[in-house]
Amino acid sequence: MPLYGQSASVAIGTPVGSGSSGSVLFVDTAGQLGQDNAHLFWDDANNRLGVGTASPSYPVHVVGEVAAFDTSATPVRGLFKAVNPLNNFPQTHFQIGQSASDLIANLVVSPLFSSAGVQKVGSLVVASNKDLTDSGEFDTYLLTDANGDFGPAAATIGSEAVGGAVEGNGLAMGFTTRVLFAGIPYALWITNTSAQQIGIGGLTSPTARLHIAAGTATANTSPLKLNSGTLLTAPEAGAIEFLTDLFYATTTTGTIRRALVAASTGRKTAQNSAQTLATYTLGASDASFVVSANILVTTATTHNFTVTCSYTDEGNTARVLTLSFTLVAGGAFVTAVANGNGAVPYMGIPQHIRCKASTTITIATTGTFTTVTYNGEGLIQQAA
């Protein structure tokens, strides 16, 4: 190949004067043959091209940004694909383009493996082709292992039988995200709409800010569970807390922490004998409670019974408190559910008791129940 303006020629194997090993020759701004190894270098021994580096570590090693643009009036997508298999294990798969099923923006970063073939790092998949997902378009997966930990995938993506995943789905501009754990589809479903709703437990159409699916009778499948823990030093409005045997909810006005019902067996109906209406066993600390009962006599006959609250006070003395009631007709408080009052409701008067730790509170009916029929319930609510 004759050089411009010279009679000599250059062929393969011809020495290049002033050339450095690894130089990729070009015509510089002065129109002369030039080289710039710091920015364009060929490592002939290892067959590597460096752009922005004279020490390439890969077949094509770029130090700096890489950009590709199509500024035409009618841009056409072209295919770019990078695949790096290792011992038949997928490693990197990046495609943009209009071929291979018309792929666009398909990125797969598969698990890395040790020399023994053991999975070490989880996978990231950003795809919009139906070959990788069964949802169609605009999908994103972050795979985890079968324990729900972010790590290696447990199976294929297309069947959704994966260890875990996070998927963003833009079908019909719905802008939703679903999370899969241990192969369970839609474990978490997030809708990015004006409603801003989250569904948990398989709910694909949540109707609340946070919508939790129903539990089952099987152990460890309740919809929501809180661990017992230390209460906030200062109550905060809207906070829900659980300590030992009691749930608390804090109200806004006065920022008061209020205990929810500690014990109530529900309303017993059509009873004609002595019944336990409510029972509760304290935890490791003394505590204060408000106790009461409600009775409705539906059939009044020869009867005369009371409702008692058995407990152990903080001085460790067993006590039996006879609960009081008021009648619809008013008047003095009564303690006996008696035939003379007829078939009427007895509204309980709350009473405040202080109880010893690890003892039991029991509200029950006792007395004469000759052919009487009544409904009743007891209430035990922690106050402090």
- Tell me, yes or no, whether 47 and 148 share the same domain: no
Q: What are phi and psi of 198, to 5 degrees?
A: -125, 130
Task: Please compute the mean of the pLDDT values over residues 214-229 and round it to a whole number.
Answer: 90
Domain membership flag for residue 230: no
Do 171 and 84 sit in the same domain of this protein? Answer: yes
Residues 308 and 184 in one domain: no
Q: Are 9 and 3 in contact (CB under 8 A)?
A: yes
- Within a domain: 205: yes
Instruction: Name the more confident of 47 and 184.
Output: 47
- Of 212, 232, 247, at which residue does a domain stop? 212
Q: What is the pLDDT of residue 261?
A: 65
**pLDDT one-digit tens code per residue, 183-208:** 455 556 666 556 678 888 777 778 88
Instruction: Give domain status of residue 148, yes or no.
Output: yes
Together in a domain, 26 and 143: no
End-of-domain residue from the set 40, 67, 94 = 67
Note whether residue 141 is domain-resident.
yes
| pLDDT tens string 259-312 | 776 666 678 999 999 999 999 888 778 889 999 999 999 998 888 999 999 999
Q: Is the dihedral of CA 310, 312, 318, 324 positive or negative?
A: negative
- Shared domain for 99 and 159, answered yes or no, is yes
Same domain, 62 and 92: no
Can you give the pLDDT at residue 75?
A: 54
Q: How far is CA 207 from CA 172, 198, 200, 211, in A?
A: 19, 8, 11, 7
Q: What is the pLDDT of residue 302?
A: 82
Looking at the domain assignment, is residue 217 inside a domain? no
Residue 336 falls within a domain, yes or no? yes
Selection from 170, 376, 381 nearest residue 261 by Cα: 381
Residue 296 CA from chain centroid, whole number: 46
Q: Which pLDDT score is estimated for 331?
A: 80
Does residue 236 sit within a domain?
no
pLDDT confidence of residue 348: 94
What CATH number has the domain bearing residue 292?
2.60.120
Q: Are residues 147 and 207 in the same domain?
A: yes
Per-residue pLDDT tens over the stretch 17-36: 788 899 998 999 998 889 99
Tell me whether residue 247 is in a domain.
no
Domain count, the chain: 3
- Residue 373: pLDDT band (50, 70, 90) is very high
| 102 and 28 within one domain | no
| Residues spanned by the domain of 85 | 80-212
